[in-house]
Chain A
Amino acid sequence: MQTEALLRSPDIVVEPTLTVERLKAYYTTKAFGIDRDIRAVDDISLTVAKGEVYGVAGESSSGKTSLIKTIVGAIRPPLHVVGGTVRFNFGGQTYDIYDLKPDELQAIRWRHLSYIMQGSMNVLNPVRRIKHSFYDFAFPHMGLGRATFWDRVRDHLRKLDLDPGVLDSYPHQLSGGMRQRTTIALATVCTPEFIVADEPTTALDVIVQRDVLTMLRDIQRDLGSSFLFVTHDMSVHATVSDRVGIVYAGRLVEEADTPTLFRSARHPYTQHLVASLPKIGDTTRRASLSGRPPSLADPPPGCRFHPRCPLAMDVCSKEVPPLVSIAPRHRVACFAVTGAPS
């Protein structure tokens, strides 16, 4: 809300923390002389303001994780960026992720930009105590002496209601929830301005999930960081995200503030996602969507949702609907909503 007010006032121009413009990233495979492009990220533009939690929703293999990888610059072949720019704004300084040299990228990672990964077991080294993971990840970025560094780490753990004793444990000695909270502590110990969270609660059961989400929300308020929060679970977005973008087959199809998205989604895919959520206390039959998610190697022409769409028109199979602003902070890519081009 505060940032919004700032953005509207004419004398102060606040550049968003993250600006992604027309980003395209494909997986290119060459086998037996045949080139195949998997268009995992196709023409995505979005911005994340300072202190905002931007949720990315979409089903598996819709390109969510590829989007994150391209945004944080963790690009390994066969994934490569075909076009577009990713700019971060940390403390007034702009960093273009694809113009940075590897050591410059290294310097902003963890200090300004950190990443909470899905499987907490894969982040923490299973054969070393947790303090070694903290040392390896965070020490080089903090520029502190050893004693001050460990004081800082212990303070940070205490602030997150974790016993500093976890530093002396091995990952397998902790429960799943504790491990995920430790990973979050690890990702936030340098007070980064931008945090990417990829399905941070998917493997946890409901009670632990609620604890972890509350903790994330508290950290976010505390540090004032921006979050890019990725999960396929719409009810998690309802709880944590300020704004949600829906990704379908590598494209952004709708983006709005969370309440708007849940109350008055316009894209048929979003409407289906919201309507199909089962709720306790409501037994009305939930419809399911026919068809299957498209293959990114050979996506349907035009709008990629048209084979499954109840509102499909002729134009949908020929032209790609652009992402159009239909209200302040509400963008939709659908001809049925924005009107077909003449």
Chain B
Amino acid sequence: MSLLLDIDHVGKTFTQGGLLSRRSIEAVKDISLQIEAERPEILSVVGESGSGKSTLAAMVLGQQLPTRGRVLFDGVDVASIRSGADRRAFMAKVQPVLQNPFEAFNPLKRVDRYLFATAANFMAATGKPTRQEIEARVDRALVEVGLTLAEVRGRFPHELSGGQLQRTAIARALIPDPRLLVADEPVSMVDASLRMSIVNLFSSLRDRLGLSIIYITHDLATAYYISDRIIIMKKGEVVERGNAREVLDNPQHPYSIALKNAVLTPDFA
């Protein structure tokens, strides 16, 4: 059994202030978490704002280095990646999907340029790709998310709906054939009628492409709907973890119970 992602007793402390008024904030305290390579899954990370969810995501993506512990991806310590080539190889395997698609794309730049640039960057590792190869790769990624290149080509972000734009962002993340997506609140800015289409897309990506997804959210209902495992975080610590359905059907920790009770249920039956 090999591990795709091994988060080993990781902690992150931010320090604030100058020499005399130094304060430190422990955003993440001692978290361990494993995702197996052979068993793709959707892992939900749930917690209130300020619980360290996004810091954990940044460490998985290698954007923040842990102050304690190690993040191993495919057996390699993320903190030890130094050279550009190694970093590119790592980034090809782990890709982010951001919260707000309207902020993720430059409003003055055509959306397809992000897709072509991503494809060109990652394909350059194996010789210079031709225009047709790049376009074929981009189109394949777009078809995966239910769009086509013809729909997206030449469009500016404001010409696409929020749902289309978030799908395009996911397609961009799929171009280098990653093994892990880190999605930080990917549906909180998407309209109600399109939210479920993004969530359903995640479960089909897991089933068809064997992709593991770390799904960060504070929406327990969608977490229950799509995820296999769940961890519930509070103040930088994991308070409860396990099979998503079991944890949410029958939460044990007082905080998890409080979270579940706070969910508004649209029940009139």
Nearest neighbor of B261 in chain A, beta-carbon distance: A210
User: Is the CB of A259 closer than 8 A to any CB of chain B?
Assistant: yes
* Alpha-carbon gap, A205 to B255, bound state (A): 13
Size of chain A's interface in residues, with CB distance under 8 A? Answer: 41
- Listed in ascending order, the chain B residues whose CB lies under 8 Å from chain A are 48-49, 161-164, 191-197, 199-200, 218-222, 224-225, 245, 248-249, 258-269
Of the candidates A234, A258, A259, the one whose C-beta lies within 8 Å of that of B192 is: A234
- Chain A residues lying within 8 Å of B261, measured Cβ to Cβ, are 210
Nearest neighbor of B163 in chain A, beta-carbon distance: A292
What string of 1s and 0s marks CB contacts (under 8 Å) between A266-302 and chain B? 0001001110111111010111110011000000000
- Chain B residues lying within 8 Å of A272, measured Cβ to Cβ, are 193
- Chain A residues lying within 8 Å of B248, measured Cβ to Cβ, are 280-281
User: Is the CB of A119 closer than 8 A to any CB of chain B?
Assistant: no
Could you pull out 18 A-B pairs where Cβ atoms are within 8 angstroms?
A: A206-B220, A207-B258, A210-B264, A213-B264, A235-B264, A238-B267, A262-B268, A263-B268, A276-B193, A278-B222, A279-B221, A280-B224, A280-B260, A283-B224, A286-B225, A288-B197, A292-B161, A293-B193
What string of 1s and 0s marks CB contacts (under 8 Å) between A231-242 and chain B? 011111111000
Nearest neighbor of B162 in chain A, beta-carbon distance: A60
- Chain B residues lying within 8 Å of A234, measured Cβ to Cβ, are 192, 266
Given known contacts A205-B49, A288-B196, what 18 new A-B pairs fall within 8 Å (CB)?
A59-B194, A204-B49, A206-B218, A206-B220, A206-B263, A207-B258, A235-B266, A237-B266, A263-B268, A273-B192, A277-B266, A279-B221, A279-B267, A280-B263, A283-B245, A286-B199, A289-B193, A289-B194
A283-B225, A293-B193 given; A206·B259 CB < 8 A? yes
User: Is the CB of A133 closer than 8 A to any CB of chain B?
Assistant: no
What string of 1s and 0s marks CB contacts (under 8 Å) between A205-232 and chain B? 1111110010000000000000000001
Nearest neighbor of A288 in chain B, beta-carbon distance: B197
Q: How many pairs of A and B residues are in contact by the CB < 8 Å rule?
A: 114
* Alpha-carbon gap, A281 to B260, bound state (A): 11
- Chain A residues lying within 8 Å of B266, measured Cβ to Cβ, are 234-235, 237-238, 262, 274, 277, 279
* Alpha-carbon gap, A204 to B219, bound state (A): 11
What string of 1s and 0s marks CB contacts (under 8 Å) between A8-28 and chain B? 000000000000000000000
* Alpha-carbon gap, A336 to B162, bound state (A): 29
- Say yes or no: A238 contacts B268, CB within 8 Å: yes
User: Is the CB of A176 closer than 8 A to any CB of chain B?
Assistant: yes
* Alpha-carbon gap, A287 to B195, bound state (A): 10
- Say yes or no: B260 contacts A288, CB within 8 Å: no
Nearest neighbor of A236 in chain B, beta-carbon distance: B264
